[in-house]
Chains A and B, each alone.
Chain A
Amino acid sequence: MTIHNDRTRIGDQNLGVLFNEGKVRRRREWRGVKDTLYDYGRWLYIISILARFIVKPRNIKAMFRYRWMANYLAVPHMVDKFTMGLRDEPLRIVHTAMDFVVYDVAQTMENIFRGDRRTGNDEKFSARCVLTDENAMTAFMMGFPTLKAILREVPTMFVANLLNQYSTTHYLDVAQQAGIPGDVCPMPEAEAGISIEDDFAVLGACAVQVNTTCDGSLMGNGIIAKRLEREYGIPTFQLVAPMRHREADVQDYAAQDIKNAIAFIEEHTGAKWDWDAYFECAKRVNDITRNRLAWLEMNSTNYPQFVGAPFSLYNDTNYMGNCGRSPKFPPIDRKIMKYAQHGYEAKRMMAPEYRHRAIIWGVQPQYVIDMLNWMIHCWGIVPLTDMLSMVNTRQIAEVDTPENREQAYYDMAWLNENMIMRNRTHGGYKVLVDELWQFCEQMNADMVIMWEHMSCKALDGMHGQFEEQARERGIHLVWVCHDLCDPRVYTRQAIRDQLNTYMRTVMREEPLDPTIEFLPDEKAW
């Protein structure tokens, strides 16, 4: 059922006016006086983060040492992609979430270059750092308040590809020149390329890698661990998340592996596990879970507020990268909640009308993740939630008792098993297929946008089951094929065209804003 917006959008009506064929936009958006000034204020804040970062000599050194650092020239451009077309509360929600993600990534990079042997080389600091796989919940660091978990791959690969669609192509070429086949998932392949070219910062007393229970991830981790251990003398622990993570009989094993990881960190850093710190973090993890569930509940109504890539990316950062360890996240959660509640009460909408309510499933194309925002403005399709945000919903033990200390290992294992991506791409058809239809029902969705990441074998293997079951349920299933972070295989427009074709031919609909149906952004950052 179509929902109409009673408010007319102030300022630019046709968003195509912002685009030309260049690397960046023609100009910024006119959103009316109040919202333009708000956006300008947030731009100043982002510029101030960048300025504070780049004045430090070690960070300048890093800019000239690491190729991936050049992508960070595009930070304000990335924020503009996520705020396109937004006004009122949704604009404020996206800025609150994404500006904090920018701040958090800048902090991670500060820490990386402080300890990095080639730039800051602060040896004392480096001895307190544990390199933590980006595919890991940082749960096993919750009881080490004096140590820093350093997720090296996050700024090097994951965020870099949000900033610049071509950020990984050089590293993919390096990996393929070394003999790695081109059909491997480009995320671990690019990370392997970065390691092969020696373009990761080097720091830390030890490292913990986690399997994503997929072939690509195991391949990438193997190459990275070899260089870390043999060349840089950084011992690396392999934390193994079970494949069938919902089965009761794998939980003892998973909990034991968490104990082993903690013992390994204690051995190599000299730090001791601190239960007070752990339970303090556990309280924050539960708070994060409650807030995410509240936003999802709001998104089940006619007036969703916190949606799309910012919802997903903020959850990734808060749930996985932070995992209750930082007290800086709860105030941001509360601020977002306040805006979301106001927006919901005022029935704020992001587009002139909402025609479809969609669940976004599968692994997203990182280089056009802002497509979810484009979908709202171009076709009136609201992304209610995405696969990567459908993670743990349980409350974990948060009171320090002898029984809860034992339970804590199971909770950390559970969180690790329910890391974003892994908890759905692996674990069988129940978590990937069956639960999707439950979410469609709960959130009142009539459409599923199915990202078909062509190099993720786990997802591709279920293609037929999705087709058959969506047809039985009368749900519009739109397949959108991509290659995660390699835009040379599917360009951004080739990705959007799959949705455009479906909307025109199957749904027989016309776009809300025809000026953005085709965007000349093949050369854009």
Chain B
Amino acid sequence: MPKVVKIPLLLLGSLAALFVVTFTVYFLNLDMKLLSKIEPFFLKHYDKMPRKNYV
């Protein structure tokens, strides 16, 4: 296949793949599902931090 055809085809293919992946993440709410799993680790970290409480 000549380069002039191959490069645009590759470009289109990768754009389509990117769309499929990101749209799946979007529609199935995978971004929020993942981040909600991360939150407890942050909370544990904050609980362990030394604090300088002062009124």
Contact = CB atoms under 8 A, between A and B. Distances in A.
A25 B36 CA distance: 11
A472 B22 CA distance: 56
Interface in B12-28: 22-23, 26-28
A477 to B, nearest CB: 37
B55 interface: yes
Given A77-B32, A198-B53, A28 B22 contact: no
A67 interface: yes
Contact of B31 (A36, A76, A178, A179): A76
Interface string B40-55: 0011011000011111
B54 A74 contact: no
Overall SS of chain B's interface: helix
B26 A28 contact: yes
A64 B31 CA distance: 20
A76 B25 CA distance: 12
B11 interface: no
Is the interface on chain B under 10, 10 to 19, 20 to 34, or 35 or more residues? 20 to 34
B39 A70 contact: yes
Contacts of B23: 40
B29 A27 contact: yes
Contacts of B55: 178-179, 196, 223
Contacts of B32: 24-25, 74, 76-77
Nearest to A68: B46
B38 interface: yes
A44 B21 CA distance: 12
A77 B29 CA distance: 9
B33 interface: yes
A220 to B, nearest CB: 12
Contact of A43 (B26, B33, B35, B43): B26
**Residue among A22, A23, A30, A64 with max Cβ neighbours from chain B (10 Å):** A23
Interface string A45-59: 001000000000000
B53 A64 contact: no
A463 interface: no
A519 B33 CA distance: 18
B36 A23 contact: yes
Contact of B54 (A23, A30, A179, A196): A196
Contact of A67 (B36, B38, B46): B46
B42 to A, nearest CB: 4
Given A70-B46, A76-B32, A198 B52 contact: yes
Nearest to B45: A64
Contacts of A74: 32, 35-36
B53 A25 contact: no
A500 B54 CA distance: 44
A489 B42 CA distance: 25
Interface in A202-233: 223, 227, 231
A69 B42 CA distance: 9
Nearest to B40: A70
A352 to B, nearest CB: 24
A278 to B, nearest CB: 38
A70 B53 CA distance: 20
Nearest to A43: B26
Contacts of B33: 22, 24
Contacts of B38: 73
19 contacts: A22-B33, A28-B27, A28-B28, A30-B27, A43-B26, A44-B22, A63-B42, A70-B42, A73-B36, A73-B38, A74-B32, A74-B35, A76-B31, A77-B32, A174-B53, A198-B53, A198-B54, A227-B54, A525-B36
The 5 closest A-B pairs by CB, nearest first: A24-B32, A67-B46, A73-B35, A23-B36, A70-B42
